[in-house]
Amino acid sequence: MTAKRNQPRTATPARVRGGTAVSALEIALFILAIGAPSLFAQERVTVSLRDNTTVEGILQGFGSRVFRVEVDQPTRPLREIREEEILRIEFHPGLAPAPGGAAANWLVNGDFEDGGMLARTPGWLSEYPVVTPKAPSYALDAAIVASGKKSARLETEVAYGSASWSQAVESFPPVEAVHLEGRLKSEGLEGCASLELLCVDASGTAVLAARDSADSAPVTGTRDWTRVALDANLPAGTARLWVRATVRGVGRAWFDGLVLGAVPRLSTPAAPAPALGEELARSGNFEEGEGAFAPGWCSEWPAGLPVHAGGPATWPRFRVDDVGAHGGRKAARVDGRAAGGFNGWTQRLPALPAGARRIRASTWVKTANLKGHARLLVVCEGPRAAEPGGEVASFSTSPAKDAPASADWKKLELEFPLPEGTASLTVRMGAAGEGTAWFDDVSVTAAGE
């Protein structure tokens, strides 16, 4: 059975005498009477004003003759609307109602109200690279909340891959599409915070679809509570949903009020599978990047000695640099500050074109005072790599191409046969040792015979 949204509901101050609207209390009682949400439900509204303008956003509450709406703008300001300004309020439909009228939420402890330390936080697990030089810090925070009494805080000190609060949802009704939303806050985040949704098959060996709110609304820098949301059609064969509240880069982020539930099937068709010869890498020119964040890319570096032993002064730095790019305005930069290891930018490409037999990859690289080498390589992974937290059943590494220690922009190119059984590719480009390397205009394509 397909879940259905409610029809839009409206609240209109109909009893108007002498041009004066009814009181905020009367409007509030009417809102509650028609089944609109309370302060913490944060439902989407359209407010028609008496000056013939409208305000669209998320209702944050009402009181003291004022309605508070988080406006749909990039900065999402909180606007206070006086009751005498309001002509009509329309509540847009949300998640399908569960029995009893409450909004259905398939997540356990999505508001993080239950639990204390991480080990006692029902429903949630920590997820981060096992070999990270310094583990992220996970905690429930009672001092900084979007609603209720607690939020989930995640703090990272090193730019290494991504760290997440994660939850697997294995029991849900047969529906065609889902909606995931939550509220995020960041502080000094050189990277981004986002919500991720992965649709996994019954065997746990393949991610059938993946969505990331960072694709359209990354939360970066220092930002107050912001609502993020994404919708996704469920591919045939979806048996498990993985939800991740993720931080990439260095800094702090808080998560609160996470909700996962059913919505009608989306009319927007799913993106077609890539074709032979089509570009597979995302944001290969890094023009969308900012700070230590670039859409689709993660950073990686070794956890072993001597890098870790030297502390933060020896840890590498990853930045999107807006000085001297090869093409466009920006390039990915790596600054190695200790000998040994490989410090790089990586991107996983889960979808391969049908009939792919050969892989071609290239990037432009520039180096300065590099006491080691800059390198481009592609890892061909077996199917188990697709499951969140799963192991790589098999992988093959392409031939690597190195760049000299100090040189202006030089193109590195690879071409190799795709090993049988490859389920996904991971592109890795970076530098070993002290010094600086820049990478730009990355390209990965697949060819047939």
Residue 70 to residue 44: CA distance in whole angstroms: 9
Q: CATH number for the domain including 64?
A: 2.30.30.100
pLDDT band per the 50, 70, 90 thresholds, residue 115: confident
Residue 149 to residue 376: CA distance in whole angstroms: 47
Instruction: Give the total number of structural domains in the chain.
Output: 3
Dihedral angle, C-alpha 128, 134, 136, 138, nearest 10 °? 120
- Looking at the fold, whether 335 and 441 belong to one and the same domain comes out as yes
> Residue 102 class from Cβ within 10 Å (0-12 exposed, 13-18 middle, 19+ buried)?
exposed
At 92 the pLDDT is 53
Q: Does residue 366 sit within a domain?
A: yes
Which residue range forms the structural domain that includes residue 377? 298-447
Among residues 263, 283, 306, the one where a domain terminates is 263
- Looking at the fold, whether 68 and 131 belong to one and the same domain comes out as no
Overall average pLDDT of the 255-261 stretch = 94
What proportion of the chain, given as a percentage, has pLDDT over 90?
21
- Looking at the fold, whether 304 and 438 belong to one and the same domain comes out as yes
Q: Does residue 293 sit within a domain?
A: no
Q: Of 242-256, 270-284, 347-361, where does the model show the most confidence?
A: 242-256
- Looking at the fold, whether 334 and 240 belong to one and the same domain comes out as no
Provide φ and ψ at 140, rounded to 5°.
-95, 130
Look up residue 290 and give its two tokens: 């900012």
278-291 residue pLDDT tens: 999 988 999 988 77
- Of the listed ranges 33-42, 215-224, 349-358, the least confidently predicted one is 33-42
Q: Does residue 421 sit within a domain?
A: yes
Q: Does residue 197 sit within a domain?
A: yes
pLDDT band per the 50, 70, 90 thresholds, residue 11: very low
Instruction: Classify 398 as helix, strand or coil.
Output: coil
Q: Identify the residue whose tokens are 């402890």.
A: 109
Q: CA angle, corner 162, sides to 158 and 166, nearest 5?
A: 130
At 152 the pLDDT is 94
Query: Which has the higher per-residue pLDDT, 342 or 325?
Result: 325
Sequence-separated (6 or more) residues with CB below 8 Å from residue 33: none
Sequence-separated (6 or more) residues with CB below 8 Å from residue 14: none
- Looking at the fold, whether 332 and 378 belong to one and the same domain comes out as yes
Contact predicate 277/357, CB 8 Å = no
Q: Does residue 259 sit within a domain?
A: yes
Query: Which has the higher per-residue pLDDT, 6 or 247?
Result: 247
- Looking at the fold, whether 302 and 429 belong to one and the same domain comes out as yes
- Looking at the fold, whether 229 and 346 belong to one and the same domain comes out as no
- Looking at the fold, whether 442 and 306 belong to one and the same domain comes out as yes
- Looking at the fold, whether 308 and 439 belong to one and the same domain comes out as yes
- Looking at the fold, whether 163 and 200 belong to one and the same domain comes out as yes
At 29 the pLDDT is 43
Among residues 263, 286, 314, the one where a domain terminates is 263
Exposed e or buried b for every residue in 306-316, given b needs 16+ CB within 10 A?
ebbeeeeebbb
299-308 residue pLDDT tens: 776 543 333 3
At 409 the pLDDT is 93
User: What sign does the dihedral 35-39-44-48 (CA atoms) show?
Assistant: positive
Spacing of C-alpha 343 from chain mean position:
23
Q: CATH number for the domain including 139?
A: 2.60.120.260
Instruction: Classify 17 as helix, strand or coil.
Output: strand
Q: From 420, 422, 439, 443, select the one nearest 430 (Cα to Cα).
A: 439
Q: From 433, 187, 186, select the one nearest 314 (Cα to Cα).
A: 433
Number of Cβ atoms within 10 Å of the Cβ of 130: 8
Overall average pLDDT of the 31-55 stretch = 57
At 183 the pLDDT is 94
What proportion of the chain, given as a percentage, has pLDDT over 70?
69
Assess whether pLDDT exceeds 80 at residue 226: yes
At 297 the pLDDT is 82
Assess whether pLDDT exceeds 70 at residue 229: yes
Residue 141 to residue 152: CA distance in whole angstroms: 6
- Looking at the fold, whether 32 and 127 belong to one and the same domain comes out as no
At 313 the pLDDT is 62
Q: Give the chain's mean pLDDT.
A: 75
- Looking at the fold, whether 122 and 87 belong to one and the same domain comes out as no
Residue 121 to residue 142: CA distance in whole angstroms: 14
127-166 residue pLDDT tens: 776 555 677 888 999 999 998 899 999 998 876 667 889 9
Query: Which has the higher per-residue pLDDT, 34 or 45?
Result: 45
333-348 residue pLDDT tens: 988 876 666 788 888 8
Q: Does residue 280 sit within a domain?
A: no
Assess whether pLDDT exceeds 90 at residue 186: yes
Q: Does residue 291 sit within a domain?
A: no
User: What sign does the dihedral 100-105-111-113 (CA atoms) show?
Assistant: positive
The number of residues in the chain equals 449
Q: CA angle, corner 92, sides to 167 and 181, nearest 5?
A: 15
Sequence-separated (6 or more) residues with CB below 8 Å from residue 426: 346, 347, 348, 349, 378, 379, 381
Overall average pLDDT of the 221-225 stretch = 91
Residue 198 to residue 184: CA distance in whole angstroms: 19
53-76 residue pLDDT tens: 877 776 655 554 566 676 655 555
Q: Does residue 370 sit within a domain?
A: yes
Residue 439 to residue 429: CA distance in whole angstroms: 8
